[in-house]
Structure 1
């Protein structure tokens, strides 16, 4: 029993000494996103990060609005009125200030569903121009909007890594709305996969247009080349 007491005391003393060491304490705090550096430096960094997050969110919303407009036009051009309506409804979730994670998730799910619907439509009408309605002007317009959206999505990638490493405490202390911080976290996790899916849809849409005599806007091809 005495040996156990002595051993416990030694371990406790050692842990206390380590915890009191400045570098150890700083490391522990950093693991939880707190501490490290002086307060004025952290405040400046937090402020810049908050500004960057807000800009990232605005750019992400803008990219999604373009994507949904493109998907709506493509669906409408192929006579898929229900799918076109879904795209328009999802776009409505992005027009009222900072979107919640729930709204962003709904938009992302709708985009994924629309991409699958369009891909199936392209495949079912491959090589057959007379198997259903096809508004070539609307399809070309959809390509332009989707191309712009994919291009804007691509430009977000350089900011996503830094967002994932941001200090939540500093962002909140700088006055950033908690909802914005949560939305940024969602974007950092979801945007890369969304870009891949949308790029695939755009590529198939361009191929479909080329095989059906539809004008392909330059932004659609340049967006794919920029990936």
Structure 2
């Protein structure tokens, strides 16, 4: 009953995402609400739904970090490539904690700045070699990561409007509730930064005769 009341209250507030293409949120995809009147069943569904969100978010970050590592290697930035690999390792051991998510996210943002600066500073430099194959591989992974990030945005509005206590009332354990809140608060800004990095990488590739995979351009068009 508490789950059903919470779902009704959330829907009544008119929680919508900013994009006009998503007119209505489906809270049931996260297991919040629904027709089952059993508290235990609602709790289980909620945990599973948020677990799926967390898994999708982790997958998107691993794609992004893989892309950043390849791009850094292609540009001769060995230290940055190593940082990306280490950050990706934080996300590979089951359900990560908020601390691990935050650390990986911070590294990801720092790498975005490093790469963008490298693309800008070497925009007109054709004398320094670039590993074109690694660069294209990096564009593929980064494009896939950005696309996965973008697909999350349609569903994060409802979670972002819920307090950790509300998430707990829907049947989540504390770690999952904290992770869900972190993702909802961080993902939009991360997507914006990653899109800027991907755009700069595509421009660099185009001006240096590097093959640009279709996933990189389609990811930008889809934003």
Q: Which residue is equivalent to 2:170? A: 171
Alpha-carbon RMSD across the aligned residues, in angstroms, is 2.4
Asked if structure 1 preserves the Cα contact closer than 8 Å seen for 2:87 and 2:107, the reply is: yes
Count residues in correspondence: 192
Aligned mates of 1:168, 1:87 — CA distance in 2? 31
In the superposition, the TM-score normalised over structure 1's length comes to: 0.78
* Residues 63, 141 of structure 2: 8 Å contact kept: yes
Aligned to 1:191: 187
Match of 1:215 among 211, 217, 221: 211
**Once superposed, which parts of structure 1, at least 4 consecutive aligned residues long, lie more than 4 Å away?**
41-46
| 1:101 corresponds to | 98
**Structure-2-length-normalised TM-score:** 0.79
After TM superposition, the structure 1 stretch with the greater mean CA deviation from structure 2, 217-226 or 154-163, is 154-163
C-alpha displacement at 1:179, in angstroms? 1.1
Q: Distance in 2 between matches of 1:134 and 1:86?
A: 19
Post-superposition shift, 1:146? 0.1
Q: CA deviation at 1:52?
A: 1.7
Match of 1:153 among 106, 126, 149: 149
- Gapped regions of structure 1 (runs ≥ 5): 1-25, 32-37
Contact 2:66-2:141 at 8 Å conserved across structures: yes
**Partner residue, 1:205:** 201
| Structure with the higher helix share, 1 or 2 | 1
Report the Cα offset of residue 185 of structure 1: 0.8
2:122 is aligned to 125
